[in-house]
Amino acid sequence: MATSKASSSLSPKALIFMGLLALQFGIQPIVTKKFTSPEIIKSTVIFTQEIVKLLIAMIGITLNTSTKWKDITSGWSIQSWLRLALLPATIYLIQNLCSLLAYQNLDAITYNVLNQTKTLSAALCCFLLLGKRQSKLQIVALVILLVAALVMEGVLPLNLEYYVNYLSNAASTTEDSNDTTKFSLSSRHVSHGVLPIMLASFLSGLAGAITQKSLQSGGGRNALMFTMELCVASILILLVSFATSEDGKKIQERGFFDQWTVLTLVPILTNSAGGILVGLVIKYAGTIRKGFALIFGILISGIVQSLIDENKSLSKEDISGGLLAALSLYMHASFPYFPKTKAKLNKMT
């Protein structure tokens, strides 16, 4: 039954959108650092990004001759918007708050390790909400992808001496059990660090699965239309937050465009394009494969930084992580899960 396998494979359109998302994700930190002031009011940037994303989606629908507004909006209602768009938008907001809390209370290595479990969470949520199972080799591929991310982020350096020193330090630490300052697993470390980032990871997978269900089931919602719905929900949530948040007070005191320049629009445009690409990748490749695109984005970021900064070069961790990510993507696309009945039919044919 070739059709089952074909449905699990990556179409040319899916590969293009994944490639563009990886490129955007790779250059985003670079352009943001270069063109965004550290003193800028963060929520003003996010608010503007949502408006720009909304406009891009509207223009995309208008210019696409194969789609008509009448067809896209048929069957649309406030109830469907609340159910399909406001819910994931709220989940993303809570996820961002949890990530920020964890970032403030965890060291960089712990944060990066736990944050990279998002793809595993996406696989779990796709199974719970969509009934999409992973084959044994696909599970192995997801673990390889996690390792690839940790290698590229320097959490798992390719240096034997590092692990020897780590084990020796760990042994000396256990010998001095009375020195409680050496242990970071305090109640605050867990409650304000570990638990929030694990919750953020799960919420990322949950929101992705909900989005995938909206975009793919029953013919699927138009990806650009769904992006518009998410933008409207996010804009409303941000407007409400301005009335009570610290950023809202800063806007009243300093003005909305304080620390802005014309070049501030560059990272806003790239990030808005990335938001639209996320919807397209989820629709045509799935939320799990979105994780693959983002890991390749880390590799692209390393390549770009090595090209523009003479003091930085592409490390062996970047290269090894990229190869592992490529291997994991191949395994995940080539060995999908087959129900036992279908597997028997495949053997018979």
In this prediction, residues 151-167 reach a mean pLDDT of 78
Q: What is the pLDDT of residue 55?
A: 96
- Using CA atoms, how far apart are residues 84 and 230, in angstroms rounded to an integer? 9
Nearest alpha-carbon partner for 50 in 237, 248, 257: 237
- Using CA atoms, how far apart are residues 227 and 274, in angstroms rounded to an integer? 11
- Using CA atoms, how far apart are residues 201 and 208, in angstroms rounded to an integer? 11
In this prediction, residues 4-21 reach a mean pLDDT of 78
- The better pLDDT of the pair 342, 199 is held by 199
Nearest alpha-carbon partner for 118 in 278, 284, 291: 291
Please say if the pLDDT value at position 184 is more than 70: no
- Using CA atoms, how far apart are residues 106 and 115, in angstroms rounded to an integer? 11
Q: What is the pLDDT of residue 127?
A: 93
Please say if the pLDDT value at position 290 is more than 90: yes
Q: Are 31 and 266 in contact (CB under 8 A)?
A: yes
Q: Are 18 and 281 in contact (CB under 8 A)?
A: yes
Residue 267 has which token pair? Answer: 């990272």
Q: What is this structure's pTM?
A: 0.81
Question: Tens digits of per-residue pLDDT, 83-120?
Answer: 888 888 889 888 887 887 887 787 766 777 788 788 89
* Angle of helix 246-254 versus helix 42-63 axis, rounded to 10: 90
